[in-house]
Amino acid sequence: MPIRRLPNQLVNQIAAGEVVERPASVVKELIENSLDAGARRIEIEIEQGGTKLIKVRDDGVGISSQELVLALSRHATSKVNCFEDLESIKSMGFRGEALPSIGSVSRLRLVSQHQESEAAWEVLGDGEDNATEPKPAAHPQGTSIEVRDLFFNTPARRKFLRKEKTEFGHIQSLVQRLALVRFDVGFILTHNRKAVLSLPPCDSRSEREARIGELLGAAFLENAIYIEEQAAELTLGGWVAKPTFSRSQADMQYFYVNQRMVRDKLVTHAVRQAYQDVLYHGRHPAYLLFLSLDPRKVDVNVHPTKHEVRFRDSRSVHDFLFRGLHKVLAQTRPQAAVGEAEKSMKVAAFSQSAAAADQGVPQQQQSMNWRVSERPGSYQAGFRAQQPVSVPGLSDSESLSSDESQGMPPLGYAMAQLHGVYILAQNHSGLVLVDMHAAHERITYERFKQTYRQGGIIKQPLLVPVTVAVSGHEADLAESQTETLASIGIEISRMGRDSLAVRGIPALLQGADAEKLLRDLLADLAEHGESRRLDDEIDGVLATMACHGSIRANRKLTLDEMNALLREMERTERADQCNHGRPTWVQFSMNELDRFFLRGR
């Protein structure tokens, strides 16, 4: 077959295969054009999931009558004039393919009044490679584009569309994604003449959070931490959810680069690393984040849909994202706002649905090794006066008066221990339940990390070495990682082909099960491969050690030890969840407790 030039209509329809995947693709292109035109209000009208009608109306600068026909021509755009512009893309759209591609598979009507014109004009397209001459029309400043009968002239493609509800769901999700980054713009979405979204422009942070709450749910905001970080030419802002608000799927992850939503592997990896030791296994974080940087340092033209980007200095971007998120997640510790009823109930619900707490088995426990600066008398002083309460195992316990509770620490004061697993404490808001193993595990883990990074862990030689029978592969692995194990306080020697001797363990783990500790560490090493250094996974190893060094279930604590644990939680970063991402404590307000017993009804 000879080489020949393709007809323009066929070229447009081929391009439409890239640009117009489904009705939501049309909506995306049209809204992005409205945003580039400086619109402050965008109305989206949809009928039959977008197959019958897609209408987008804005109050932007508009298009002059001389440019209306040109707007429907391929590669005609006002957003790129030279190669330098292509290297520094600031607009949402820039290829000039959208309107002619859409027009080639639909019946299109374009009406616009330019801001410097006193009249509006319209042009029509019918799926062919031509458009009518502009004629006068009634329209305020801005532009309206109607797309009717999508894929009417390409029935094969129409067969691949899903049900009306599904196609509209894609459109609604798209509008929500754009509304979550363009707070300065109002969005109105209707489907089959029924209002779906009505979002006014947002100027203040409180207005933005109101929009976020409407689109992502109040629970996200109640569990989100606001972040603002800046380094060199990089700026990161937005909201990141606490680990206890994790999701079973990655369905609440919104990341924008220069106001363009992207799905980028580098970004995903940085976020996962930041959550690495606070997220429950198999769960996904939730976030709404905005990264801003020089447009010349990011390529947004590496994919037809512009969902992927390429950073010029990917390593610095990755490190910046990780450090910023890692720092903000370190703030998840008990604070004075523990009395927020709705938040505590969400955390409690997650605690029940997550895997059961690791209660371990009874074994010898090392001393908690805490200096309890607050003597018993100081705790008892807080439990004076209104009505005595009899709590088994706790002497001199009394409910707090309203006056005495004002200066109370966030987690309050311990009152009792429940089945050797939970600590019951009373604070200003009501009842606090603490999973003592999970809480102590986090505290021990953070201590290990701090000690390791400040110069190494102090090793405690064992009076009697512990011999451990292992496989030949495990023995080889341990021998190859002797220095790595020594750096975290584990001294071993090889006794034979399939035997190891543990001669020293971290001093903080005095009394721990040395054999089980070594086996768990070898399992971690085997998972990461014998040829890989453990540097990137050191936190995971320290987490395993912390688990062995933490209080086990059925361990009886004194009142002083319980209160010392509460105070350590308040001082420890990431204390709201254990190393596995489970909550360490929950709050029940007096209002919630009253509802349990139908008080006041």
Q: Of 12-26, 215-229, 334-348, 461-475, which range is least confident?
A: 334-348
Higher confidence at residue 258 or residue 394? 258
pLDDT for residue 365 is more than 70: no
Among 46-55, 69-78, 314-323, 451-460, the range of highest mean pLDDT: 46-55
Confidence of residue 392 (pLDDT cuts 50, 70, 90): very low
Give the pLDDT of residue 551: 74
Confidence of residue 462 (pLDDT cuts 50, 70, 90): very high
Confidence of residue 15 (pLDDT cuts 50, 70, 90): low
pLDDT tens for each residue of 487-501: 878 899 999 899 999
Give the pLDDT of residue 96: 53
What average pLDDT score do residues 76-100 get?
A: 56
The residue among 418, 434, 399, 349 whose CA lies nearest residue 590 is 399
* DSSP codes of every residue in 48-83: GGGTSEEEEEE-SS---GGGHHHHTSTT--SS--SH
Percent of the chain with pLDDT over 90: 46
Higher confidence at residue 542 or residue 533? 542
Higher confidence at residue 326 or residue 531? 326
Give the pLDDT of residue 14: 61
Confidence of residue 362 (pLDDT cuts 50, 70, 90): very low
Confidence of residue 76 (pLDDT cuts 50, 70, 90): low
Helix ranges (DSSP H) in 180-264: 205-216, 218-222
Higher confidence at residue 246 or residue 172? 172
pLDDT for residue 19 is more than 80: no
pLDDT for residue 71 is more than 70: yes
Q: Of 84-98, 145-159, 433-447, which range is least confident?
A: 84-98
**Which residue(s) pair with 225 in the sheet?**
240
What average pLDDT score do residues 345-349 get?
A: 41
Residue 208 DSSP class: H
pLDDT for residue 308 is more than 90: no
**Alpha carbon distance 144, 104 (integer Å):** 18
Higher confidence at residue 273 or residue 352? 273
- pLDDT, mean over the chain: 81
pLDDT tens for each residue of 241-258: 998 888 889 999 999 999
DSSP 3-state of 289 = strand
Give the pLDDT of residue 46: 98
Higher confidence at residue 50 or residue 384? 50
DSSP 3-state of 222 = helix
Q: What angle do CA 510, 516, 521 make, to 5 degrees?
A: 95
pLDDT for residue 399 is more than 60: no
**Alpha carbon distance 169, 156 (integer Å):** 22
**Alpha carbon distance 173, 27 (integer Å):** 11
Confidence of residue 195 (pLDDT cuts 50, 70, 90): very high
Give the pLDDT of residue 155: 86
Give the pLDDT of residue 273: 85
* SS3 per residue for 327-396: HHHCCCCCCHHHHCHHHHHHHHHHHHHCCCCCCCCCCCCCCCCCCCCCCHHHHHHHHCEEEECCECCECC
What average pLDDT score do residues 575-596 get?
A: 90
Give the pLDDT of residue 301: 67
The residue among 147, 178, 157, 187 whose CA lies nearest residue 48 is 147
Higher confidence at residue 598 or residue 200? 200
CA dihedral 401, 402, 404, 410 (to 10 degrees): 120
pLDDT for residue 286 is more than 50: yes
What average pLDDT score do residues 6-32 get?
A: 78
Confidence of residue 232 (pLDDT cuts 50, 70, 90): confident
pLDDT tens for each residue of 401-440: 443 445 789 999 999 999 989 999 999 999 999 999 999 9
Q: Of 19-33, 233-247, 528-542, which range is least confident?
A: 528-542
Give the pLDDT of residue 355: 37
Q: Of 27-41, 198-212, 405-419, 425-439, which range is least confident?
A: 405-419
CA atoms within 13 A on the CB side of 325: 33
Could you give phi then psi for residue 322, rounded to 5 degrees? -60, -50
Give the pLDDT of residue 184: 96
Higher confidence at residue 434 or residue 75? 434
pLDDT for residue 132 is more than 60: yes
Q: Of 171-180, 284-293, 355-364, 509-518, which range is least confident?
A: 355-364
Q: Of 150-159, 164-173, 317-326, 559-568, which range is least confident?
A: 150-159
Among 39-43, 128-132, 387-391, the range of highest mean pLDDT: 39-43
Confidence of residue 592 (pLDDT cuts 50, 70, 90): very high
- Asked if 462 and 588 count as a contact pair (C-beta separation under 8 A), the reply is no
**Which residue(s) pair with 135 in the sheet?**
122
pLDDT for residue 584 is more than 90: yes
